[in-house]
Amino acid sequence: MIDRRSAILGTLAVGLSTGVDAQTPPPEQVGGRGPKQPDPTETIDLWPAGAPGAPSRLPVEIVEDRATGTAATDRAVHGIARPRMVVFRPAKPNGSAVLVMPGGGYVRIVVDREGYEIARWLADRGWTVFVLFYRLPGDGWAAGPDVPLSDAQRAMRLIRARAGTYGIKPDRVAAMGFSAGGHVCGDLATRFAQNTYPPVDSADRGSARPDIAALMYAVQSMTLPLAHPGSRTLLLGPSPPPALEHVHSTASNVTSATPPCFLVHAEDDRSVVVDNTLAFRAAAIKAGVAVETHLFATGGHGFGLSRADGKPAASWPTLFEEWARAQGLG
């Protein structure tokens, strides 16, 4: 539930300037329990004329403070009406970029634990990071289950189109996703060429294929009992036909064109069972796709960066960095 400490931004986000190039601001800081680091202020709206296929009533963007103590900020955003990227610029760019897709079970987007925390870590190491606030499929958009993929495709194309602005190389753009955001990432890595929206501008002539993809305890299957029930229902509805489940199970779509993949999961994950990652790994191997997999005996679900502290799973960012460097990024 959203409590009284939540901030309702409305369908037209507050703080927009009247300039032609005005962009929707990032989600607000709310609550007072967790330590606050300065949020980035630079954003990129994905759709200059508004997102396609809007419902008759746009969702209302709500920022929820989920922090339970003073150790860390923990926000979540519901009702994305203006999909956008929040940009983390490094002090010394290394020429590589990463599009980060936080999780949230397709009912929300986790801002801090699976977005800003890893973005700051990567930016400190030279990566230019774009955290994606994608539309949620349960909000009535015309594209239905392809809505998050549309936003991810458009984001990748915009990053490449603006590579010169950010000092990055268009052939060194990674994708990283967590939980349901890992499903978006897996969808992007396997269905990057799918036509999910009409072209908007010259950026859409570019490729949406990530050069590498990192899937973190990712939702993969849409078939029960392997599927994460909540994500499946919000993406496909309560009783989807088997054909629709198959189309949106990422392992079913792995081909030789899928980029090299980095997979992480905890074997004691009770929300998204580890067999999701194992099925994706098996599909990648069968297709001849380079895949590196790290399974941790403990860690549960949603450990991100800060919740892995003191556990073996805390090594995953360094493992990713080393693997990405071996792939020519970072």
Asked, for residue 309, whether it belongs to a domain, the answer is yes
pLDDT band, residue 181 (cuts 50/70/90):
very high
Cβ proximity of 301 and 266 under 8 Å: yes
CA distances from 299 to 40, 321, 322 (A): 29, 20, 21
Domain count, the chain: 1
Residue-level pLDDT at 63? 93
* pLDDT above 80 for 285: yes
Q: How far apart are CA 292 and CA 37, in angstroms?
A: 33
Asked, for residue 50, whether it belongs to a domain, the answer is no
Asked, for residue 66, whether it belongs to a domain, the answer is no
Mean per-residue pLDDT, 292-316: 91
* Dihedral pair phi/psi, residue 217, rounded to 5°: 35, 55
Asked, for residue 37, whether it belongs to a domain, the answer is no
What DSSP assignment string belongs to 173-207? EEEEEETHHHHHHHHHHHHTTS--S---SGGGGS-
pLDDT digits (tens, 9 = 90+) for 185-239: 999 999 999 999 999 999 999 999 999 999 999 999 999 999 999 999 999 999 9
Asked, for residue 11, whether it belongs to a domain, the answer is no
Asked, for residue 5, whether it belongs to a domain, the answer is no
Sheet with 109-110, side-by-side order of all strands: 7-8, 62-65, 75-78, 109-110
* 54 token code pair: 């809007």
Q: How far apart are CA 295 and CA 312, in angstroms?
A: 10
pLDDT band, residue 33 (cuts 50/70/90):
low
pLDDT digits (tens, 9 = 90+) for 226-275: 999 999 999 999 999 999 999 999 999 999 999 999 999 999 999 999 99
Q: How far apart are CA 148 and CA 154, in angstroms?
A: 10
The residue range of the domain holding 114 is 81-326
Residue-level pLDDT at 71? 66
**CATH number, position 263:** 3.40.50.1820
Asked, for residue 158, whether it belongs to a domain, the answer is yes
Asked, for residue 48, whether it belongs to a domain, the answer is no
Percent of the chain residues past pLDDT 70, beyond the cut = 91
